[in-house]
Each structure stands twice: as C-alpha cells, then as structure tokens.
Amino acid sequence: MKEWFPNVQKIAYEGPESDNPFAFKHYNADEVVMGRTMAEHLRFAVCYWHTFKNLGSDPFGGDTMIRSYNDARNEMKVAENTMQAAFEFFTKLGVHFWCFHDRDIAPEGDDLAETNKRLDKIVDLAESLQNDTGVKLLWGTTNAFTHRRFLAGASTNPSPDVFAYAACQVKKAMEITHRLGGQGYTFWGGREGYETLLNTDMARELDHLAGFLHLAVDYKEEIGFDGQFYIEPKPKEPTKHQYDFDAGSCHAFLQNYDLVDHFKLNIEANHATLAAHTFPHELEYAALNGLLGSVDANRGDMLLGWDTDQFPTDLYDTTLTMYIILRNGGFSPGGLNFDAHIRRQSIDPDDLFHAHIGGMDAFARGLKNAAKMIADGKFEGAVRKRYAGWETGIGARIETGQVGFADLEKYILETGEPELQSGRQELLENMLNEYI
C-alpha cells in the first residue's frame, strides 16, 4: 500500500529530554495517571476537515498546501487516497479516534442519490480501515453550511425545501455514523442564525431549528443509534447572529424546546473566547448543568476577532481544562478532538505532525498538572474554606429553605455588618504557576 507520509515513522514517546521534533516529550499513551492511562483520559481525535481538507486558503488567498493524496484526476479517487492517508496519519500519530463531516470524506455528486452512493462507497473503505487499525469514530456530523444551497441556513432557512435537504443530509450522516460505530453525533449550526432582522423571522426560525432536532431525536431512536448527541455553541461566524451563541444560550434553547435530555454540548476553546467567555467558564457551565459532552481542542488568538482554530499549546488552558474534566469524572463517550488547523504558511505534511504532537504533549502536561492539583488538594481546599459559612448556622438554614426575607432581616439586625475575607486571587494564581 502506498505510504502518504513517507518522511515520518510512528511517533514514539521519548521523554522531555528528547530533541526529536517527531517524538512525544510528554504524551506517553500507556502511562497511568489517577488510575487510568493517558490514552483513556485524553481520548484524542483527529478531525478530517482541517487536517486533510484544509489546504491553507484564507479570505485573502487560495490554497498553499500541496498534498500527494490530492493528485488524482478523479475526485472519488482523491477521496479514497485521502482516507488511506488519514488512517496512515492516525496510526503513525497514535490517536485512537477521528471525526468527520459527510462532505469531508466524499464529494457531492450530481444529485442526492448519487451523493449518498458516493458516501456509502467511502464509508466502506473507512469501515475496513477502522477494522484494520482499531481507530474509532468519536463522532460524525453533517456539513450543511458550505454548499450554496445553505446560504441562508439549513433547518432555519426561509425555504422549507432547504430544511428538507438538510434533513436528508443529517439522516444519511446519522446512518453512516451509526454504521461506523460512532460514539456520538454533533450538531454545529453552521449557518443557523441570521444577518439582519430586516429580513428575518427569528421566532419562526428558532421553532424550525427545534423541530428539526426533534426529528433527529426521533430518527435516532428509529435506527437504534445510541451515540451521544452534541450541540456545539459558536457565536458570530458565519452568520452575525448564530443561534447557538454560547453554552448559556444553548441551554436556554434546549430547555425551551424540551430537548435538554437528548443533547450535551461540544465545547470549543476558540468558540468560547469569541463569545467573550473563557474556555474553562464554558466547560464549567456545561458541567454544572449536566451538559459537558465533548471538547473541540484548539486555541484562538485573543487579538483577532475570528475563529483562528490554532493548535492548543497553552499550558494554562490545557491544565485548567483537564482540571475541570477530571473533577467531573473525565469524559466518555466524549473526547478531545483537535478542531485546529496548521497555519497557512505551514505548508509541509511534516507540519501536520508537529502540530498534533504539540497539542498532545500540551494536553499530557495539562493532565499531569491537573492530577497533581487534585492530589495536592490546595485549590479545592481554598474553595471549600471560602464557602465554609454555608455548612452551618444561617448558611445552612438558607440553603435548606428554612428562612425568608423577614428572618434574614432579623438576623442582620442582630449580627450587624458581615465580616469579609480576601479573594486571594494573586496567591492562587501564583500557586497555579507552580504547576505549570
């Protein structure tokens, strides 16, 4: 079989002293941390769209990356070669999961029937490669935003025909995800949003979005797919007003339309910051509402106003992320999907390896840091101490619903001005630095 990345051999763990850019310095798949291997904790996935289909174009210029698997004349042959290359990449990198959109893996045909036939053919190949390699599907999804037909949304399109077309795509994508043993299925509302209220009936569009998701829930049951459904919040792109703005607005929507039991959230770092939240905030918000599903691991540029989807290398982020994940029992069936792409100037196939190695090493360090933070218990202790007043006395009576406004007034008239404590933010930040 043709080798698509002949430059690179299987990436091995060589430890922090290694100078080899094609080795892990921190990610040691079988190393046990807090009772599980790193691989079990981190559940890394490679995404198909950025890693194999993104070739470096941006709004100011065309593709920059030349890949041998794109050389074939026939577009289905390109699709097959790319799938072969992808599994070679997964295997050499040593990740156990992948993620894809339907349109990443097979090009559209002249009509829907032909398109679905093409998909089936490529899924045959993917299935056999999964069997050969043991790589699994973390989640599948539909691309209902790239094609011209979705210019005004998919399920929120002013035209019911487009709604119907999107339904066809999701139906098929759920079927192939199911067939490939996918552990989840993600809904990112590509163009589900609007540009201007001057031409938009937002109430109707939100109703349609909810109706669509209910149809998906029905179909899930119909085909017996038991993977987890995820909604992925994102603001601002591509429509100015994306309906799934952030974790909070998704939470509102899911409750409002009786969908909250059927979905969890797939939280992406760069989407969090575009919505003016920290990544840890969105994770914690999801977790405390029972919605923490999976993670799109990347990093934004805080000086730029769009989704830069850079590889996650910030050790503060990886440490705090893993601290939240571990304290919430880890994630499964979710995982860490690298929804990230190499920079336009990083034109070599080698750069794909560098990027993923860097992200995996950064999360391995984050995992170890977080495990140490939990073992030391300093942060948990600080928080517990700060809220200690709620465990007894008036605090406990408030929490158990034994007092009303009048009782509280009486209490304060007796006890007077509350005592205050320092928030100790600087000390806690210093403590955190000692784990980095």
Of 61, 134, 224, 329, which one interacts with a second copy (CB under 8 A)?
61
Q: For residue 127, which of 184, 50, 76, 181 has the smallest C-alpha distance?
A: 181
**Which residue number, 138 or 275, has a Cβ lying nearer to a second copy?**
275
Q: Tell me: does residue 402 bind a second copy (CB under 8 A).
A: no
In the complex with a second copy, the residue whose CB is nearer, 12 or 125, is 12
Residue 226 beta carbon to a second copy: minimum distance, rounded to whole angstroms? 17
Q: Which residue from 138, 361, 371, 435 is in contact with a second copy, where contact means CB under 8 A?
A: 361
Tokens of 138: 């973390």
**Number of residues counted as binding a second copy (CB under 8 A):** 153
Picking from 45, 93, 134, the residue whose alpha carbon sits closest to that of residue 332 is 45
Q: Which element (helix H / strand E) includes 36?
A: strand 36-37
| Residue 429 binds to a second copy (criterion: CB under 8 A) | yes
**Crossing angle of helices 75-93/112-133, nearest 10°?**
30
The residues in 68-107 that bind a second copy, with binding defined as CB under 8 A, are none
Cis peptide before 238 (omega within 30 of 0): yes
Sign of CA dihedral 175, 225, 184, 93: negative
Q: Footprint of a second copy on residues 223-252 (CB under 8 A)? A: 235-238, 240-241, 245-246, 248-249, 251-252
Say if residues 84 and 78 touch (Cβ distance below 8 Å): no
Q: Which is nearer to a second copy, 130 or 141 (CB)?
A: 141
User: How would you label 329-346 residue by residue, b for 16+ Cβ within 10 Å and e otherwise?
Assistant: eebebbbbbbbbbbebeb
Positions annotated as catalytic residues are: 101, 104
Q: Which is nearer to a second copy, 79 or 274 (CB)?
A: 274
Quote the longest CA-to-CA distance of the chain. Answer: 85
The full length of the chain comes to: 436
Of 4-12, 28-36, 71-79, 308-316, the segment contacting a second copy by CB under 8 A is 308-316
Q: Cα separation of 80 and 134, whole Å?
A: 19
C-alpha closest to that of 288 among 247, 334, 335, 228: 247
As measured in angstroms, the least distance from the Cβ of 94 to a second copy is 16
DSSP state of 61: B
Q: Tell me: does residue 329 bind a second copy (CB under 8 A).
A: no
Q: In whole angstroms, how close is the CB of 129 to a second copy at the nearest point? A: 26
Specify the stretch interacting with a second copy by CB under 8 A; choose among 7-15, 28-36, 83-91, 401-409: 401-409
Q: Judged by CB under 8 A, does residue 219 bind a second copy?
A: yes
Asked if 14 is part of the footprint of a second copy (rule: CB under 8 A), the reply reads no
7 lines the binding site for a second copy (CB under 8 A): no
Query: Are 182 and 139 contacting, i.e. CB atoms less than 8 angstroms apart?
Result: yes
For residues 379 to 398, the per-residue mask of contacts with a second copy, x marking binding by CB under 8 A and - elsewhere, is x--xx--xx-xx--xxx--x
Between 131 and 417, whose beta carbon lies closer to a second copy? 417
Among 39, 76, 215, 374, binds a second copy (CB under 8 A): 215
Within 161-190, the residues that bind a second copy by CB under 8 A are 161-165, 167-168, 170-172, 190
User: Based on CB atoms, which residue is closest to a second copy, 130 or 317?
Assistant: 317
CA distance 56 to 62: 7
